[in-house]
Every structure is written in structure tokens, then in C-alpha cells.
């Protein structure tokens, strides 16, 4: 499987949802970087299930065991390998999926691609469970970036048509990012968050699921980071973002709204600020021009589809017997994965940014 991403930094994610363990190998991290494991665990805890009825009751401690690459809390330059044990599995819930694929899942496509040998328990290697090691890597990369003043933050922008306030695309600060990061339900406007929360609970009660959007920003990325064509910042970020299961859309800056604009509306006028820095008055370009950072905040929106596993009976097929069937899905599933995906998006952006920053002079 293509669970390997390579730039200046490479990551390789291994394991399956109901296997003994999952994990990640991160290669080419700069040596001598201090890793605060308490902060890593805090970051990873943000994607863990909550006890408020909005997430799956599956409970994993997600305590990464570092096998190599860190000594005395500092990176050694060797590949950093971290393993996370799976302890709360119920594989019997998935016994019929070898022949009855779940609508919206990769059961069918995975069976075709891997000749029926793919592990369907809990989604196997296609599961959102594999975002736990991604978050570990993103937490490590985030610490290295934050020591250079670069901060990435995200929040729930929308769930099922209920919208949060948006980040400022020109004047967002570190405090704005940290204020949302510390919330158990990561929204800017708490009253809108309460409406989202209620909608998720109602979806669960109605045996349904909800999708939504996540807004993410990175600040203090210096101008000149990235490359044109196939190794641009957008390219790298997009590759990692689409490694998160259930992501179906991505836009930078004004995104698809640019299709409705004329050039004078879309173009961001340059100016020199009070510190002598080149800035733009607006930020439709989302902080990236020609694949290279402009010095403005990097902004992106990520669309997350509704959780595919719902309790309602659904039409499917028995692809071995070639018959039409009705499937009743068992197991423990999130009625909405958007809240838990927020740190996953941050993690993906952190990995991409650090990889490109290593090309930057005096990093």
C-alpha cells in the first residue's frame, strides 16, 4: 500500500484498525530537537473520542511507544519510530464485510485492489484509526515549527450547514490559534458550537451521520518557502490532507469563490507595512503564490464527508454471490468525525510545512 510520503521528511504509516498495533516511522527530522512528550500526548488527545455522545464509544489510550530516534527527549537523527497498541477492538462486528461491502467505505474497492486479502475489521488500513500516528508526527513537527514562531491552528468551520465564525485571513495571531486549540469542542463561536453539538446528537439518535468543514491557518511562515509546479506548498499539503479518511474537498484562500470573481477582485494588492515587510491587503491567494509562501497566513478549508457507517439498513451487494442485499452495519462509529479530524488537519499541515522549511536558509 502507498502509505509512504516522501519529501525532505518522509513518513511511513503502518498497521490496521484491529491489528496488534499501528504506528509511524519519521525519517530525516533535524537532530537535537527537544520533544516534549506531554505536549505530544495533549495534541493526540484532541482526536480521541469524547464522552459527550458525539463520538464513537471505542476508547483507545493512544500512548505512543517510541522505539527509536529519540534519546533524552531529543531527536537523534535516526528514523523516529513510534508504535501505538490497539486494545479496544470488537472484530466480530465486521465478520460479514468480506462479502457485503459497506456503502461509502473502501470495503469493495479494497477487496478488488488487494484480491480479497484486505483486512476489513474496523476498516483495516483504510480506517480513521490510522490518523493517530499521523497526529503523533504532526505533533512532533509542530513543536519544531513553533520554536521558530510558526503556528498552525484549525477549528470546526461548519457541520451540516451550521457555520462557525471564520479566522481572519490577514491578521490572525498566535493567541487566536491557542484559544481554539484549548477547547474540547473546537469552534470560535461557542453558541454556534452548541447548535452543531445538538445536531450531531440528533443525527446519532436518528441513526444518521453528518459532514462538515474544517478551517486551518498557519502563521509566520516566511515568504519564499516552497517550489513551483509539482513540489509546491499546496501540492504537499494536499497530498497529506487527502491521506485523512473522509476528506473529499480542499481549497486554499478564497478557493472556489475565485471562479465568481474578476481579476481586480481576486488579486491581493501589495503594500509595505510599518515594519518594512511586504504584505497584501487581502488574502484570496491563501498565503501561497506559485507554490511558494508569500508571508501572509496560509489558509485552507477541508471538506469532510458524513461518516459512512450508519445504523440504518442500506442497500449493498454480495460481490461473491453476485446478489443484491440489505446490510445492517454493526460496530461503534462516530455520528460526525469533523471534531476529531481538526487536529489531523493541523498535523498534515505541520508535516508539509516542516518538510519545506528544511530547504529554507538558516532554518
Q: What are the structural domains, with CATH classification, of the chain?
A: 4-357 (3.60.150.10)
Neighbours of 201 (CB within 10 A): 15
Q: How high is the pLDDT of residue 344? A: 98
SS3 271: strand
Q: How far apart are the C-alpha atoms of 122 and 124, rounded to whole Å?
A: 6
Query: Residue 264 burial (CB < 10 Å; 0-12/13-18/19+)?
Result: exposed
Q: What is the pLDDT of residue 201?
A: 95
Q: Which residues of 296-330 are buried (b: 16+ CB within 10 A; e: fewer)?
A: bbbbbbbbbbbbbbbbeebebbebeeeeeeebebe
Which cell numbers in the block locate residue 18?
484491529
pLDDT tens digit at each of 363 positions of the chain? 579 999 999 999 999 888 889 999 999 999 999 999 999 999 999 998 876 667 666 566 789 999 999 999 999 999 999 999 988 666 565 666 778 888 888 888 888 888 888 888 878 788 889 999 999 999 999 999 999 999 999 999 999 999 999 999 999 999 999 999 999 999 999 999 999 999 999 999 999 999 999 999 999 999 999 999 999 999 999 999 999 999 999 999 999 999 999 999 999 999 999 999 999 999 999 999 999 999 999 999 999 999 988 888 999 999 888 899 888 887 678 899 999 999 999 999 999 999 999 999 878
List the end-to-end C-alpha distance of the chain, in Å, as a whole number. 33
- CB atoms closer than 10 angstroms to residue 266: 16
SS3 17: coil
- Give the pLDDT of residue 180: 97
Question: What are the beta bridge partners of residue 194?
Answer: none
Q: Strand, helix or coil at 292?
A: strand
Determine the pLDDT at residue 56: 66
- CA dihedral for 187, 191, 196, 200, sign (positive or negative): positive
Place of cell 480542499: 250
Q: How many whole angstroms separate alpha carbon 123 and alpha carbon 129?
A: 9
Q: At what angle do helices 233-241 and 338-357 cross, to 10 degrees?
A: 140
d(CA 51, CA 201): 12
Q: Say if CB 249 and CB 302 are below 8 A apart.
A: yes
Cβ count within 10 A of residue 118: 20
Task: Please choose, from the candidates 362, 351, 332, the residue with its C-alpha nearest in 3D space to the C-alpha of residue 122.
Answer: 332
Per-residue model confidence (pLDDT) at position 94: 61
**Where would I find the beta strands (DSSP E) of 63-175?**
65-68, 70-71, 74-75, 80-85, 151-159, 162-163
Classify 153 as helix, strand or coil.
strand
Full-prediction pTM beyond 0.85? yes
Long-range contacts of 314-318 (CB under 8 A, 24+ apart): 314/102, 314/103, 315/103, 316/100, 316/101, 316/102, 316/103, 317/100, 317/101, 318/99, 318/100
Distance between CA atoms of residues 313 and 201, nearest Å: 19
Residue 234 phi, psi dihedral angles, 5° rounding: -60, -40
Amino acid at each position: 500500500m502507498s502509505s509512504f510520503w516522501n519529501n525532505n521528511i518522509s513518513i511511513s504509516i503502518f498497521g490496521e484498525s484491529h491489528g496488534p498495533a499501528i504506528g509511524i516511522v519519521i525519517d530525516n527530522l533535524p537532530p537535537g530537537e527537544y520533544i516534549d512528550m506531554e505536549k505530544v500526548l495533549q495534541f493526540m488527545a484532541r482526536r480521541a473520542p469524547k464522552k459527550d455522545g458525539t463520538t464513537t464509544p471505542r476508547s483507545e489510550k493512544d500512548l505512543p511507544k517510541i522505539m527509536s530516534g529519540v534519546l533524552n527527549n531529543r531527536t537523534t537523527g535516526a528514523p523516529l519510530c513510534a508504535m501505538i497498541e490497539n486494545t479496544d477492538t470488537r472484530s466480530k462486528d465486521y465478520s460479514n464485510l468480506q462479502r457485503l461491502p459497506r456503502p461509502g467505505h473502501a470495503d469493495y474497492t479494497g477487496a478488488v485492489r488487494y484480491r480479497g486479502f484486505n483486512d476489513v475489521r474496523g476498516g483495516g488500513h483504510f480506517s480513521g484509526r490510522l490518523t493517530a500516528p499521523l497526529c503523533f508526527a504532526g505533533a512532533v513537527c509542530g513543536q519544531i515549527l513553533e520554536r521558530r514562531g510558526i503556528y498552525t491552528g484549525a477549528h470546526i468551520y461548519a457541520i451540516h450547514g451550521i457555520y462557525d465564525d471564520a479566522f481572519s485571513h490577514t491578521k490572525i495571531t498566535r493567541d487566536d490559534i491557542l484559544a481554539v486549540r484549548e477547547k474540547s469542542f473546537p469552534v470560535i463561536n461557542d453558541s454556534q458550537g452548541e447548535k452543531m453539538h445538538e445536531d450531531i446528537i440528533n443525527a446519532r439518535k436518528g441513526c444518521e451521520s453528518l459532514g462538515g468543514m474544517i478551517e486551518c491557518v498557519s502563521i509566520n511562515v516566511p515568504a519564499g518557502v516552497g517550489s513551483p509546479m509539482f513540489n509546491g506548498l499546496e501540492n504537499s499539503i494536499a497530498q497529506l490532507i487527502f491521506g485523512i479518511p473522509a476528506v473529499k474537498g480542499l481549497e486554499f484562500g478564497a478557493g472556489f469563490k475565485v471562479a465568481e470573481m474578476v481579476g481586480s477582485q481576486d488579486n491581493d494588492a501589495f503594500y509595505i507595512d510599518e515594519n518594512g515587510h511586504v504584505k497584501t491587503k487581502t488574502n484570496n491567494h491563501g498565503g501561497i503564490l506559485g507554490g511558494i509562501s508569500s508571508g501572509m497566513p496560509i489558509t485552507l478549508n477541508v471538506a469532510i464527508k458524513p461518516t459512512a457507517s450508519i445504523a440504518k439498513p442500506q442497500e449493498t451487494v454480495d460481490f461473491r454471490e453476485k446478489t443484491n442485499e440489505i446490510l445492517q452495519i454493526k460496530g461503534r462509529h462516530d455520528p460526525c468525525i469533523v471534531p476529531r479530524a481538526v487536529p489531523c488537519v493541523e498535523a498534515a499541515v505541520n508535516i508539509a510545512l516542516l518538510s519545506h522549511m528544511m530547504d529554507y536558509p538558516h532554518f
